[in-house]
Amino acid sequence: MEMQRLVNHAIVAALDPGDGPSSFELPAAECGTSPLGRLLFLGDVSLALGVAEFIEDRGTPAVFSKLPPDFFRADVVCFNLECCLTRRGVPIEYKPVYLVGEARYLDAFPCLEQCVAVLANNHFLDRGVLGAVDTLTALEERGVAYVGARGPKARAQPCIKDTPGGRVAMLAFSSCSHALRGTNAVNVEQLDAEAAREAVQKATQQADQVCVLLHHGIEYFPFPHPRHRALCRTLATAGAHLIVCHHPHVPQGVECLEGAIVAHSVGNFLFDVRLKPTERVAQTVALRVWLAGGRICRVQFEPLVINDTLQPSPMDGVAREEFLAHMRALSVALHHPCHARRWARKAVRARLQEQIAGLRDNTRHLGLRGAFSYYSRRLSELFSSHAYEALRNKRTRNRNP
């Protein structure tokens, strides 16, 4: 607990607005002169809609032209690929927005061989099996590793990456995606707390550090739901060293839980933010992590903003100071009991409002009969899922110790 308190204090201090780099070093871990491994974690990347239009108009080299030349200098560059890359397939269910791009848009990244794409999200299956298979093919042809997909056509988790500072195992899961029913060539890796815990424990035997990418949270809300925070704690207890979350589309706080660094949301990175034109949606934070001797020794926060042409660019001046102050306040609230309880109550209400809005939207577009059929199918999938079986078995064990 003392170590956790020290790390949380260091996180808050690193987010204090100032001119220097927003970074901190972990206690009892020294970078020193040891070989360093460099990891870069980015937010949501959607090569669709306005971003696709920009690429078609100005080409892939212009996408990251506002970033420093050495921005992608890392041994591993991880981002959440929130779209499918295909010209085939059809939607499998109604959604307000479908995110579909083309394989050649990936060429915007200057470091494809160092990239790891997270596919455990709610848009990987926007064009069904055909679209998902095409996405895997596009990544594999360009040498991009990926996590968060399962099935005969997908590479199994974890993704192991060797760096000069140590070996890293990466896992990804999603709790807000709708997996395809039955046996398919490819599917999304659904989040089952027990299965994820076991996967983390197994990964600790394969690598020095275990990083878990989670796709969960409340969209456009700045604080994690209590259930999602509890899940992060469970995975940290199982052996995860770093947990990076996506899906809210706005940055959330950072904390240390059971020895693991948890970034509850890093926001968007390359996204058509005009879908929800608010200030926070255009703000993001790149998370840089240094490894030495198989341990995390340093973490740095790099504030970015998506400009009017949808290009990510460095944040500076008053905007940077305001953003860091915002992140600092959210991070303080995570381990301040009174603030945490107040924010947790707000998160529960926001989640309920999100579900009601989804029900209203589905009913409007599908009609009463279509909405009833949709939710009946979802409940049927839940009660026949492995997650429900695990929950039922756990309750049985609790009743009969």
Per residue in 288-297, pLDDT (tens digit) is: 999 998 899 9
pLDDT at 386 over 80: no
User: Is residue 235 domain-shared with residue 364, that is, in the same domain?
Assistant: no
User: Is residue 283 domain-shared with residue 380, that is, in the same domain?
Assistant: no
Domain assignment present for 312: yes
User: Is residue 284 domain-shared with residue 358, that is, in the same domain?
Assistant: no
User: Is residue 214 domain-shared with residue 309, that is, in the same domain?
Assistant: yes
CA 245 to CA 267: how far, in whole Å?
Answer: 9
Domain assignment present for 346: no
User: Is residue 241 domain-shared with residue 310, that is, in the same domain?
Assistant: yes
User: Is residue 176 domain-shared with residue 49, that is, in the same domain?
Assistant: yes
CA 335 to CA 224: how far, in whole Å?
Answer: 12
List the CATH number of the domain containing 255. Answer: 3.60.21.10
User: Is residue 280 domain-shared with residue 379, that is, in the same domain?
Assistant: no
Domain assignment present for 111: yes
Per-residue pLDDT at 158: 94
CA angle, corner 340, sides to 339 and 343, nearest 5? 85
Dmax over CA atoms of the chain, in Å, equals: 66
The fraction of the chain above a pLDDT of 90, given in percent, is: 66
Per-residue pLDDT at 362: 78
Domain-terminating residue out of 338, 365, 383: 338
Do the beta carbons of residue 288 and residue 300 sit within 8 Å? yes
User: Is residue 117 domain-shared with residue 249, that is, in the same domain?
Assistant: yes
Domain assignment present for 344: no
DSSP state of 27: T
Question: pTM for this one?
Answer: 0.92
How many of the other CB atoms lie within 10 Å of CB of 321? 16
CA 8 to CA 159: how far, in whole Å?
Answer: 28
User: Is residue 310 domain-shared with residue 362, that is, in the same domain?
Assistant: no
Do the beta carbons of residue 118 and residue 83 sit within 8 Å? no
* Tally of domains within the chain: 2
327-344 mean pLDDT = 91
Token representation of residue 258: 């059971």
User: Is residue 74 domain-shared with residue 21, that is, in the same domain?
Assistant: yes
Q: Which domain holds residue 189?
A: 2-338
Do the beta carbons of residue 86 and residue 124 sit within 8 Å? no
Domain assignment present for 347: no
CA 193 to CA 387: how far, in whole Å?
Answer: 8
pLDDT at 148 over 90: yes
pLDDT in tens, 61-76: 999 999 999 999 999 9
Among the residue ranges 25-39, 184-198, 213-227, 307-321, the one predicted with the least confidence is 25-39
User: Is residue 244 domain-shared with residue 382, that is, in the same domain?
Assistant: no
User: Is residue 284 domain-shared with residue 243, that is, in the same domain?
Assistant: yes
Domain assignment present for 260: yes
CA 84 to CA 106: how far, in whole Å?
Answer: 11
pLDDT at 400 over 70: no
Token representation of residue 171: 């896992």
Q: Scanning the structure block, which residue is given the tokens 């980015």?
A: 42
